[in-house]
Amino acid sequence: MADREPQVQPAPEGKEATRQRILDAAAEVFSEKGYHGAAVDDIVRASQTSKGSFYFHFPSKQEIFFALVDRLTAALALSAREAIGREHGALAKVNAALETVLYTFSRHRQLAKILLVGGVGLGKAFDERLLTIHARFASLIKGHLDEAVAEGSIPPLDTEVTAYAWLGAVNEVIVRWLYTGQPEPLEAAMDTLRRLLLHSICAEGIEREEVRTKP
């Protein structure tokens, strides 16, 4: 009787891979059902894991939501840094950061929905985290606005207020799009908004005939 070849068992999935799979599933579930409508069981089914795996990595639904927000924020910040790194001159870097945020959200509705409206009603803990996220991106914009003022690309202005005003404008346009579907497509409003914000700091010289498309 011929010897049978030994059956090769697939290697068990690593803990980090399982954690990322659960996070990916949570992104889909929260985007579809919202925070309050989503249940841990929904995430477990979508990730094809178990409740034991879920609670091994995340103590609660709130904790996985916060972990997801942190992951998405980090990814967006990385994209902005990479875009900035390809530019020369403070004003061009400001423009690159702004374009990255606008076009990333316009092409990734799920990401925008989770970051901007997914945590509505979660209370102080989420509000504080959201303020930290806003401060992170405002600081990024402010730093390059400060450089643009220093190099004479734009006139002196309160760069901190400007940075938060820009974030507020972006937030309003995208949140309206998430709730109403307007403007459709969102990209149609993005160039107008970008030009408006740059015009607000007397930076008409940065405007281009065609806006770059972000991947």
Q: Are residues 52 and 132 in the same domain?
A: no
Q: Are residues 30 and 117 in the same domain?
A: no
Q: What is the mean pLDDT of residues 177-181?
A: 87
Q: What CATH number is associated with residue 30?
A: 1.10.10.60
Q: Domain end: 24, 42, 58, which one? A: 58
Q: What are 62-87's pLDDT values in tens digits?
A: 999 999 888 888 888 888 889 888 99
Q: State the residue range of the domain holding 149.
A: 66-206
The crossing angle, in degrees rounded to 10, of helices 187-200 and 159-180 is: 160
* CA 11 to centroid of chain Cα atoms: 33
Classify residue 34: in a domain, yes or no: yes
Q: What are 1-43's pLDDT values in tens digits?
A: 444 444 434 345 688 999 999 999 999 998 888 888 899 999 9
Residues 6+ apart with CB under 8 A from 15: 56, 57
Token pair listed for 214:
């972000």
Q: What are 131-165's pLDDT values in tens digits?
A: 888 898 899 889 989 999 998 889 999 999 999 99
User: What is the pTM assigned to this prediction?
Assistant: 0.76
Classify residue 8: in a domain, yes or no: no
Domains of the chain: total: 2
Q: Are residues 86 and 54 in the same domain?
A: no
Classify residue 6: in a domain, yes or no: no
